[in-house]
Each structure stands twice: as structure tokens, then as C-alpha cells.
Amino acid sequence: MPRPPRLSRRRLEEAAAYLRNADPKLARVIDAVGPCTMLPAREGSHFAHLARAIVYQQLSGSAAATIHGRVAAQLGGAVEPHAVAGVSDETLRAAGLSTAKTRALRDLAERVLDGRLQLESVDAIDDDAVIDALVQVRGIGPWTAQMFLMFRLGRPDVLPVLDLGVRKGAQRMHRLRALPDAARLERLAEPWRPWRSVASWYCWRALEL
């Protein structure tokens, strides 16, 4: 099986040119916003990226950053599976994690350590297989898995149909009276294949115009 594609500067330029021709409404947003900058995050490990996503859920950026920093400090500076397994729930709670997030972070670490979740292989498997593997973890749902696909693995054709920002961006772009539901967003996004990740990024940016 060929390795799934990963977004790069060249692919982002190719995507923008394709999307501009495929959807005139999206083309206006692309022209207003400029080049897409959604290059995949390379720093840290896959585990650290997912752990950060768990910590950041349902919190403001500043509050989440503070708690994440405290958790990392308690773990010796790096949020990695062995470090999580080596501290108590009370230690994680004292850093500011809720009970639910403590359980989620511990479940993630346990699954990586015992081999149920093989994060080292996710770069080589398709999008659906990645989502299927990640949603087995407590606290990780389809949206978090899709964000991992887009912003960590750099997969080019992910459409987060339940993301409020993408839905609002599509609504504004198409001048819809109501927010599109998942089925309607799928239909609107059909011309965006195989670059729906990039189109979603432009939907988010459309809200800033």
C-alpha cells in the first residue's frame, strides 16, 4: 500500500489552485485570505500531540496552556506514555486536569504502552483506520481524531462535518440562512475533493474576513 499523502508547501499551492477552479465561492475566500499555511506540526511525538488535544478540550487557549504546562512540569518536561504511567492520578489532578481528562490521558498512555494503540504506524494507514484506532481511547472522539489527521499527519482530504467553524464558514461562503448539517456540508464539499482539509481551513479563515 502506498503511504498516504502529507500536506507540503507544494501540495498547499496545488490545492489552492484546484479549489479556486472547483468552487467560485471558495475562490473568493482564497483570494481574500491568501496562501494556506496549514503545514502539519512536526515538533514532539504523536502521543504528545494527542495528550495536548485532550488537555485543551473545552478550555480557552490560555487556561489550557497553563494546565498543559503544569502537567508537563509534573512529568519532567515531556508528556510521554512512560511519564504518565509513572505518576498518580492525584498528581495529574493537582496540575489542573479534571477527573475525566486524567482518565483519558491515562487510557491513552496505557493503550500505547500495551500495544493496543500503535501510534508509530499511523503515518502509514488510511484516514478511516486512524480514526477507528483513536476513537477507542477514552476522551478522543471523531472530531479530535480528524484534527489529528489534519494538523499532525497533514492529511489533505479530511472534512470535519461537525466542526462549528467549518459549518459557519460554509454558511457564510454560500450565504445560507441556516447552518448546514453534516449531510448538506458533505454535498457542498463534494467539489473540494481531494483537498477538503485545505478547504476546511479556508472555511475557518472566512469567519475572520
pLDDT (tens digit per residue) in 46-59: 999 999 999 999 88
Q: Please report the pLDDT score of residue 107 as a whole number.
A: 98
Q: What is the pLDDT of residues 30-48, one digit of tens each?
A: 999 999 999 999 999 999 9
Spans of all domains in the chain: 9-40+157-206, 46-151
- Give the distance, in angstroms, between the CA of residue 173 and the centroid of all CA atoms in the same chain: 22
CATH number of 9-40+157-206: 1.10.1670.40
pTM of the model: 0.95
Q: State the pLDDT at residue 1.
A: 65
Find out whether 76 and 86 touch, Cβ atoms under 8 Å: no
- Check pLDDT > 70 for residue 185: yes
Interatomic CA distance for residues 52 and 71, integer angstroms: 10
Place of cell 477514552: 138
Residue 157 pLDDT greater than 70, yes or no:
yes
Q: How confident is the model at residue 27 (pLDDT cuts 50, 70, 90)?
A: very high
Model pLDDT, residue 109: 98
- What dihedral angle (degrees, nearest 10) is formed by the CA atoms of 88, 92, 97, 100? -20
pLDDT at 3: 84
Domain 46-151, second-level architecture: Orthogonal Bundle (1.10)
Mean pLDDT of 14-27: 97
Q: For 72-123, how does the pLDDT look when each residue is reduced to its tens digit (9 = 90+)?
A: 999 999 999 999 999 999 999 999 999 999 999 999 999 999 999 999 999 9
Q: Across all residues in the chain, what is the average pLDDT?
A: 96
Report which of 49, 27, 39, 25 is spatially closest to residue 156, judged by C-alpha positions: 39
Q: Is the pLDDT of residue 2 over 80?
A: no
Q: Distance between CA 72 and CA 11 in Å, rounded?
A: 34
Q: Tell me what pLDDT residue 209 has.
A: 86
| Pairwise CA distance, residues 144 & 131, whole Å | 9
> Does the pLDDT value for residue 128 go beyond 90?
yes
pLDDT given at position 60 = 83
Per-residue model confidence (pLDDT) at position 132:
98
